[in-house]
Structure 1
Amino acid sequence: MAHLAIVAGKGSLPGVLSQALVAQGTTPIIAHLQDFPPEGVDLPLEPFRIERLAPFIARLHDLSVDRVIFAGAVQRPRLDPEQFDPRTAMMVPRMLAAMQQGDDATLREVIAIFEEEGLAVVGADAVLPDLVPQAGVLGVHQPGSRDRADAARAAAVVAALGAADVGQGAVVSGGLCLAAEALPGTDAMLGQVAALGPLRPDRAGLLYKAPKPGQDKRVDLPALGPATVRNAHAAGLAGIAFEAGGVLLLDREAMIAEADRLGLFLWARAAE
């Protein structure tokens, strides 16, 4: 019988996916980089090293794996040249070339290697379609005309950031970009906005998240959760907008409930 493997990184997504699969009657294989075990996963683990990628792929075949999901943020480990096996060593030049072009190019190369080895790479939404909402407003609060203008401005900012392989989010209020996402992430960006203090007496502005232009949506989609809603509220924002079909909601019902409680809108905005 064929199996699905989750290559698990940081964050709650690996646990969400593994629990959903078990509830569906499927027990996934959980793999992770050695020394970086996932949180919230109560299943046997298959650690591996980048330096021994070829033997790891062979191990997946031995376990009858035919599909792989990459879930969660992955830290770049320090590589030990003495650990490379001959087959993995042959992959090094193409991996190094991709890494010099940025994270997106690196992920595309990793996907290519897995698929060349006969393993189909699928997105998290293949397991849980509701993780990636389509266009529409979630919850009771609606964005107004000012919010829609801010979202259009933020989408342009995020597209420019993504084209430079910098980030996947921005905060815009009244047409002004208050913060742009970089390596520290969304929570740090919202913390910066909160530190600015209220710019208006009423709530205004929004957080916007979207994939990078041309990004392979099977991996590294931006993700939002209930904590994002609380942090957006603390930053004085009116709501959160995100590209429909391009952002993971890690706990959709809890996010909607929190946004309704705090008076924020959640808007899956159709890409233009």
Structure 2
Amino acid sequence: MSRTAIVAGQGALPGLVAEALDAPLVYALDGFAPAIPAQTFRLERLVPLLDAMADSDVSRVVFAGAVRRPRLEPEMFDPRTATLVPRFLGAMQSGDDGALRELISIFEEWGFEVAGVDAIRPDLVPGPGVLTGEPSAADRADAARAAEILAVTGPLDIGQGCVVAQGLCLALETLPGTEAMLDFAALHQGLRPDARGAKGVLYKAPKPAQDRRIDLPAIGPDTVAQAARAELAGIAWAAGGVLLLDRKATLAAAEDAGLFLWALE
């Protein structure tokens, strides 16, 4: 019987994916344990992991959850995984998208189908529309400006989010992630030209050429809390390209904070 394996990271997403699968095997990179039980592995021993998956009749793999780039320990490589070192190093010197594309390629070479989270849980990807609140004309202009910015920076494999207020980019997501970006935006609220004008919008979207089977941007209750601390007006994202985690709690948090949530066409 063929099985599905989850290569899990931190956060709620691995558990949400597991709920939709029949007895999945769950593996987690050492140091990035998910909230559900998982067998840990190290990237330096990737080939033994792939062999173990094949021996367990795994035919499909889905990546779910947050991880950061691990530090590789040369002495820990087994001989077969060591042959992949040039590919690892080349990929890790590129952006996140390049590194993850190489990882997908390796899994596919072992005969595994790599499925996106949206294929397992399509209900986590909202269609277009305002989910709560009401963006003003200024908010809509800021969201459009943010989408333009990410369309330009996306091909550079920098990040999947930015904050725009009154037409100005206050913060751009880079390697430290969304929380660091919003912390930066919170520190620099005073840069908005009109203190009584539009507060600003967090906008998230996949990179234009991103392989959407891995690392789709996500929004959840924590994102709402961080946006509220930055005193933004709301959160917007590219409809069909962003995961909405714990929809009920996220909408409730946005309503409590007075933020809008908007999936753009």
TM-score of the two chains, using structure 2 as the length reference = 0.91
* 1:253 maps onto 2:227 in alignment: no
Distance 1:80 1:193, change over 3 A: closer
- The whole-number CA distance in structure 2 between the counterparts of 1:69 and 1:248 is 15
Distance 1:88 1:170, change over 3 A: same
Q: Which runs of 5+ in 2 are unaligned?
A: none
Q: Give 1:172 deviation, angstroms.
A: 0.7
- The whole-number CA distance in structure 1 between the counterparts of 2:25 and 2:175 is 29
Q: Percent identical across equivalent pairs?
A: 56
* 1:228 maps onto 2:226 in alignment: no
Of residues 189, 214, 225 in structure 1, which corresponds to 2:209? 214
Q: Give 1:203 deviation, angstroms.
A: 5.4
Hey, what does 1:168 align to over in structure 2?
160
Q: Which amino acid aligns with 1:147?
A: D
- The whole-number CA distance in structure 1 between the counterparts of 2:260 and 2:99 is 35
- The whole-number CA distance in structure 2 between the counterparts of 1:98 and 1:184 is 18
Equivalenced residues, count:
262
Distance 1:203 1:253, change over 3 A: farther
Q: Which amino acid aligns with 1:209?
A: K
Matches within 5 A, 1:37-56: 37-38=33-34, 40-41=35-36, 43=37, 45-56=38-49
* 1:36 maps onto 2:29 in alignment: no
Q: Which amino acid aligns with 1:83?
A: M
DSSP-derived class of the 1:58 partner: helix
Deviates more, 1:185-194 or 1:174-183: 185-194
1:61-99 Cα distance to aligned partner (Å, 9 max, x none): 111111111112223333233332333222222222222
* 1:262 maps onto 2:257 in alignment: yes
Q: Say what the alpha-carbon RMSD is for the aligned residues.
A: 1.8
Q: Give 1:56 deviation, angstroms.
A: 0.7
- Asked if the contact 1:203/1:236 (under 8 Å) is kept, the reply is no
Hey, what does 2:86 align to over in structure 1?
93
- The whole-number CA distance in structure 2 between the counterparts of 1:203 and 1:255 is 22
* 1:2 maps onto 2:2 in alignment: yes
DSSP-derived class of the 1:242 partner: strand
TM-score of the two chains, using structure 1 as the length reference = 0.89
Hey, what does 1:154 align to over in structure 2?
146
- Asked if the contact 1:5/1:67 (under 8 Å) is kept, the reply is yes
Hey, what does 2:59 align to over in structure 1?
66
- Asked if the contact 2:7/2:64 (under 8 Å) is kept, the reply is yes
- Asked if the contact 2:205/2:237 (under 8 Å) is kept, the reply is yes
Hey, what does 1:112 align to over in structure 2?
105
1:73-126 Cα distance to aligned partner (Å, 9 max, x none): 223333233332333222222222222222211111110111111111111112
Deviates more, 1:71-80 or 1:130-139: 71-80
